[in-house]
Structures are given as structure tokens and as C-alpha cells.
Amino acid sequence: GAVVSQHPSRVICKSGTSVKIECRSLDFQATTMFWYRQFPKQSLMLMATSNEGSKATYEQGVEKDKFLINHASLTLSTLTVTSAHPEDSSFYICSARPPLGWGNQPQHFGDGTRLSIL
Amino acid sequence: GNSVTQMEGPVTLSEEAFLTINCTYTATGYPSLFWYVQYPGEGLQLLLKATKADDKGSNKGFEATYRKETTSFHLEKGSVQVSDSAVYFCALEKPNTGNQFYFGTGTSLTVIP
């Protein structure tokens, strides 16, 4: 079954709305989670590294005031796209890094969220 | 910098055909290399990995060898099945960064009976 749950899987909303995407680690406590964005026919681009109990680390060119990340617990990180506009429409994927020695995968990925801004 | 260049798709093959998906990388230091697979309607799953030069990762009949001299990590399978239809992503893990990944664009594979 899924190790990382991402919700919602799809959201359509009007321009100017703020949208929250949740990423939950179901089987382990994740001190570190990652948020990616994928444009059509392009790579998954790392947006930010979410650290439990501290501020997220954003990649160059990602607006931290636009993409708010909160990692308030060891099993939940949220990405809020504030005042979303059509250019924010994309596929957003989260991942969680398991503790050392837990399984053989460096990250476990959610199923992604398709965000469409009208 | 770090980047991954992956063969563009889509790729359509008949069942039992040989598969190669090319992947080359640019990296500082010595990254680990991965192939991830995304089946329709599902999330990314690790298919195989290699952590150092000349390592061969293998899983479910798929193989890829870490070639430092050609900075490549091509994915191969000798005989594909319909169930292999998916999108395949090549990725590298930036060394000593706590798992920062760089992904290729993904290659869509469709296997027809």
C-alpha cells in the first residue's frame, strides 16, 4: 500500500484562490519531506525541502511567499499555493525521506496533485 | 551543475521486444543514480539504483549500469511485457545533500500485445 499519501489528487479553482496540498507519511516519521513541481514534458523540479519544526529551504527561483510550506509534525507537510494564478497550474509531487535503515529507498513519493487554475 | 538528460518518448514496443531508454547525467562529485517508474494512476516507485561507478542495478528484469566514463545510466530490458507500460524517470541524488534529487523528463513506454 501507499507509504506517502498526498491530497487532493486533483483540484480546480479560480484565479486568486489559495490552495493547500497535504503530504502525509503513513509508515514512518519523516523529519524531511520534499516538494516537486512538474511542467508538461519536463522534469520534476525540486521546489523546496521541508524540515520538521523549522523553516523550509527553497530552491533558487522559487518564491517562498507564493509557496508556503509548513511541516508542523513528523508525518505531515503542507504546501499552500497563495493567490494562485493560471501560471501556477502544474503537477505537484511530494516525497518523504525515511529514517536511516528504514527500507531501501531514499525517498517515498506521493501520487501527486494536479492543480488547475482557471 | 547537476542535471539529467533522458531519451524523449513516447516509446511504443511490441511485447517481448528489447528496451533501451538512454540517460546521461552531469554532476559534481559522485552521485547515486536511480530509475523510477510511474505506472498509470500511481506514484513514483523506485525501480533500481546504483551508488558507484560500474555498479549494476537490476530489478524485475530491468538493468542499468553506472558508467562514469560516459556519464550514462541507460535502462535496458531484454523482453518487455504489457505490464511494463509506464513512465520511466532517470534521476541522480546530489552527493551529501540529504537526498536532493535531479530528475530527467521521463519517458513514456507503451507495450502492445
From residue B64, how far is each of B20, B61, B88 by CA, in Å?
Answer: 10, 10, 13
A84 Cα to chain B: minimum distance (Å): 24
The pLDDT score that the predictor gives to residue B98 is 67
The pLDDT score that the predictor gives to residue B94 is 80
Read off the pLDDT band of A103 (50, 70, 90).
confident
Q: Which residues contact A50 (CB under 8 A, 6 or more apart)?
A: A32, A33, A34, A35, A56, A69, A70, A71, A77
User: Above pLDDT 70, what percent of chain A?
Assistant: 99
Q: Nearest Cβ partner of B99 from A41, A93, A106? A: A106
Cβ under 8 Å to A: B residues 26-85: 32, 34, 36, 41-46
In B, which residues are within 8 Å of A104 by CB distance?
46
Out of A3-7, A48-52, A101-105, B100-104, least confident range: A101-105
B38 Cα to chain A: minimum distance (Å): 9
The pLDDT score that the predictor gives to residue B43 is 78
The pLDDT score that the predictor gives to residue A36 is 94
The C-alpha cell at B25 is 547525467
What does pLDDT average to over chain A?
Answer: 91
List average pLDDT for each run of 10 residues in chain B, which is 113 residues long: 87 97 91 92 88 95 96 97 96 79 92 96
H helices of B74-113, in order, are none
For strands B107-112 and B11-14, give the pairing: parallel
Read off the pLDDT band of A101 (50, 70, 90).
confident
Cβ contact A109–B101 (<8 Å):
no
Residue of B nearest to A9 (CA): B41
Read off the pLDDT band of A1 (50, 70, 90).
low
> Per residue in A7-20, pLDDT tens?
999 999 999 999 99
What is the mean pLDDT of the segment spanning A45-73?
91
Cα B8 from Cα A60, distance rounded (Å): 26
